[in-house]
Every structure is written in C-alpha cells, then in structure tokens.
Amino acid sequence: MSNWLGLEALAVVFSLAYLVLAMRENSLCWFCAFFGTAIYIWVFGGVSLYMGSLLHVYYLVMAVYGWYQWRRGGVEHRGVRISRWGLTQHLYALFAVVLASAVSGHLLSQHTDAHLPYLDSFTTWGGVLTTVMVARKILENWLYWIVVDGASIYLYLDRELYLTAGLFAVYLVLVVLGFIRWRKHYLEQPITERRQEFAAPDVI
C-alpha cells in the first residue's frame, strides 16, 4: 500500500480543506473536493476498493453540482440556504441506502475480488446520499456523516490506508462542529426560509 502514500497524502490535504471550508459555508470547498476526489479515484482502485473508487467518480460530478447550488441555486439564484428534512424523507433515504448496499454488496462478493464488499457498498451509498444533502445544504447531513465516516475508518485501516483513516477520525470531530455551526446559522435564518426541503420542526 506504500506505493500510494504520496498520492494519498495529497488527497488528504484537499479533503481536509474541503471539510473545513464546507463548515464555513465557503463555496471554495467544492474546488478542494474536486481535486481530492480525482486523486482518490486512482488510490481506491489501486487497493481494490472498487465501490469507493466509483463513489469518487460520483463525487467529482457532485463537486461541480455543489458549487453551482451554493453559488447559483435556491431562491432567485442567490445560493441555497440551510434547510432540513422531515422524518418521512429520512426514512426513505435510509431504506434506499440499505437496499442499495445489500444489492451491490452481493454483486461485488459474487463477481469481483472486492474487499469487504458490503461495508464498501454501505460507505459508498451512504456517501452518495450525504453528498446530495451537503450540496442542498440539508442540516442533518452532518449526522449522517458521523455514521459513514465511522464505518469508513475501519474499512481504510483494513486496507492500510492509514492517512485516510486518520483523516476520517479527524472528520468525526469536525462533523460535530459542522453540525453545531450550521444549526446556529439555520436558526438565525428567517422562519419563512427554514422549510425549503421538506423540513421538520426545530427539535434538534
């Protein structure tokens, strides 16, 4: 795995910059996401995490979409505001992730040499969902990341991607701070702007 250490280190730097800037709602985060993602496509493919590699192809596209949403989306194309999902939306989303993970995990286990195919699939589909939530500025994205990042740490340690595992350990701290920061900004928004994405009552 040491052959990938240099590229992995560079991807970690871009990825950490992405999260810090995302916490601050700075649209430059999507440029960092784009470059970090491009590097990880090769790294994950090289260590047989095929779903993880495919996920980063998706991240590459979502970096462009996220930048557009933050800069030109929302009301009057002034950028999306922080909003929330209700219980129904969360249940649909969770069911879709579990089902997709089961299907792709089974296919990978039967037809490829993928390592930990079900866990790889779960972190992949969880990342797909949560990245959409980030692009749309759904407040609860940070809570989803806690689960996805925690599972990813085990996956990357198993594949000896120690820098990436360390990055995700840092992520676990930063996502909590991100949730606190975004929730504060959400509550500072006018009441009329808090229910753009099927939002739930302000109980968290």
Q: In the prediction, which pLDDT does 78 show?
A: 80
pLDDT band at 200 (very low <50, low <70, confident <90, very high): very low
147-171 residue pLDDT tens: 999 999 998 898 888 888 988 899 8
Please give the Cα distance from 28 to 17 (Å, whole number). 9
Q: Distance from first CA to last CA of the chain, Å, rounded? A: 42
Beta bridge partners of residue 138, listed in sequence order = 83
pTM strictly above 0.85: no
CA dihedral 52, 58, 61, 63 (to 10 degrees): -50
In sequence order, what are the residues at sequence separation of 6 or more whose Cβ sits closer than 8 angstroms to the Cβ of residue 146? 172, 175, 176
The answer to which of 15-19, 55-59, 130-134 has the lowest mean pLDDT is: 55-59
**DSSP codes joined into one string, 120-155:** HHHHHHHHHHHHHHHHTTBTTHHHHHHHHHHHHHHH
Q: Where are the domains of the chain?
A: 2-75+84-193
